[in-house]
């Protein structure tokens, strides 16, 4: 009977947890889980373990948290696990060439886009912001470049008009885990996954999100602003000044409506459950928002709370 596949998993956020579960259920021997060092999190900024660390400890998998893998001692410790394969999912640390070459089968990465589109840190949100009709996950053989390696397996999913960053994140995390499970099952059967080189055209980089991007500029078209609202839910959350008050915007849709010449940013209509704001092109209808220091609420509750009403 052949020896089980020895596997090291490397990941940090919630997105990686389903893929760790897929590795544990695959029949491979998960000999260690690598994750980022514990960091401050939440409103209280208390030191917290990453979601991957919590999941690994619950499964009795040894956890390693090096600050870097460039350190020879850290690389030697990884080599001591003698992995046949390293699976990387949103780990957050760069793997040097010496690490990439260490496992017999190399290093696999589960990436949340259809490469070469949206290489980089924030592919889910960038796909929504760009108005892409489709995205997916790629199981990639890692190499030294940023998300440049050949693709082993791919799975696609449409981006629905109401998909938020959070909703698409969860769907792609599940889809990525299923694609990884398929790849592991094939390798354990003795199959060889055929790598497909990425196209040279169509490269786009998904730069890391910045909180400043979440500030809505009313001079932009309503379509672009509605995409921002969806993409930045649940983080960093779109925000804007409406009728003199700074608000976080949780739910909105673009209307191809005449603003009547109203200046961008002006409230042009109010309903019981929505407010319509003029933009550079069209109207943004807002249905859910949040006051500074307050809770997320329906627009009707915000309207009821404003004794002075809303200028329209």
In this predicted structure, what is the pLDDT of residue 298?
96
What's the CATH class of domain 6-206?
alpha beta
Using alpha carbons only, what angle is made at residue 57 by residues 53 and 63, rounded to the nearest 5 degrees? Answer: 60
The number of residues in the chain equals 312
The sign of the torsion formed by the CA atoms of 140, 143, 148, 149 equals negative
Contact between 228 and 238 under an 8 Å Cβ cutoff? The reply is yes
C-alpha–C-alpha distance, residues 205 and 111, integer Å: 13
Judge whether residue 86 has pLDDT over 80.
Answer: yes
Judge whether residue 37 has pLDDT over 60.
Answer: yes
72 is in an annotated binding site: no
Judge whether residue 197 has pLDDT over 50.
Answer: yes
How does the average pLDDT of the chain come out, rounded?
95
115 is in an annotated binding site: yes
Judge whether residue 21 has pLDDT over 70.
Answer: yes
pTM of the model: 0.95
Q: How confident is the model at residue 3 (pLDDT cuts 50, 70, 90)?
A: confident
Establish whether domains 6-206 and 211-305 are of one fold: no
Mean pLDDT (whole number) for 39-55: 88
pLDDT tens digits for 243-257?
A: 899 999 999 999 999
116 is in an annotated binding site: yes
Q: How confident is the model at residue 43 (pLDDT cuts 50, 70, 90)?
A: confident
Specify the 3-state DSSP secondary structure of 11.
strand
Query: Which CATH superfamily includes the segment(s) 211-305?
Result: Formyl transferase, C-terminal domain (3.10.25.10)
| Extents of the domains making up the chain | 6-206, 211-305
Residue of 18, 12, 70 whose CA lies nearest to 39: 12
Q: Which residues are within 8 A (CB) of 227 and not within 5 positions of it... i.e. 6 or more apart?
A: 128, 129, 130, 131
pLDDT tens digits for 110-155?
A: 999 999 999 999 999 999 999 999 999 999 999 999 999 999 999 9
Q: How confident is the model at residue 1 (pLDDT cuts 50, 70, 90)?
A: very low
251 is in an annotated binding site: no
C-alpha–C-alpha distance, residues 284 and 238, integer Å: 13
Contact between 167 and 230 under an 8 Å Cβ cutoff? The reply is no
In this predicted structure, what is the pLDDT of residue 307?
59
């Amino acid at each position: 009977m052949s020896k089980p596949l020895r596997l090291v998993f490397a990941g940090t956020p919630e997105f990686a947890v389903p893929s760790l579960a897929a590795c544990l259920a695959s029949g491979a021997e998960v000999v260690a889980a690598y994750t980022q060092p514990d960091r401050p999190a939440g409103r209280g900024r208390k030191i917290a373990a990453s979601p991957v660390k919590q999941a690994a400890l619950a499964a009795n998998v040894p956890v390693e948290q090096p600050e870097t893998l460039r350190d020879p001692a850290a690389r030697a410790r990884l080599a001591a696990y003698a992995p046949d394969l390293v699976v990387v999912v949103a780990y957050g640390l760069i793997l040097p060439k010496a690490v990439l070459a260490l496992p017999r089968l190399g290093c696999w990465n589960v990436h949340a886009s259809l490469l070469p589109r949206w290489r980089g840190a924030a592919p889910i949100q960038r796909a929504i912001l760009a108005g892409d009709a489709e995205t997916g996950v790629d199981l990639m053989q890692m190499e030294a470049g940023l998300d440049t390696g050949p693709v082993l397996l791919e799975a696609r999913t449409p981006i629905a008009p109401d998909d938020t960053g959070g909703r698409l994140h969860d769907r792609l995390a599940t889809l990525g885990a299923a694609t990884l499970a398929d790849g592991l099952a094939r390798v354990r059967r003795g199959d060889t996954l055929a790598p497909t080189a990425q196209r040279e055209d169509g490269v786009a980089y998904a730069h890391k999100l910045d909180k400043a991007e979440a500030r809505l500029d009313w001079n932009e078209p309503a379509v672009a602003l509605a995409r921002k609202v969806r993409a930045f839910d649940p983080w960093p959350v779109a925000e804007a000044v409406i009728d003199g008050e700074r608000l976080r915007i949780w739910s909105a849709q673009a209307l191809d409506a005449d603003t009547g010449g109203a200046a961008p940013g002006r409230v042009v209509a109010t309903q019981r459950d929505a407010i319509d704001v003029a933009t550079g092109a069209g109207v943004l209808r807002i249905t859910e928002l949040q006051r500074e220091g307050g809770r997320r609420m329906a627009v009707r509750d915000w309207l009821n709370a404003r004794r002075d009403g809303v200028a329209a």
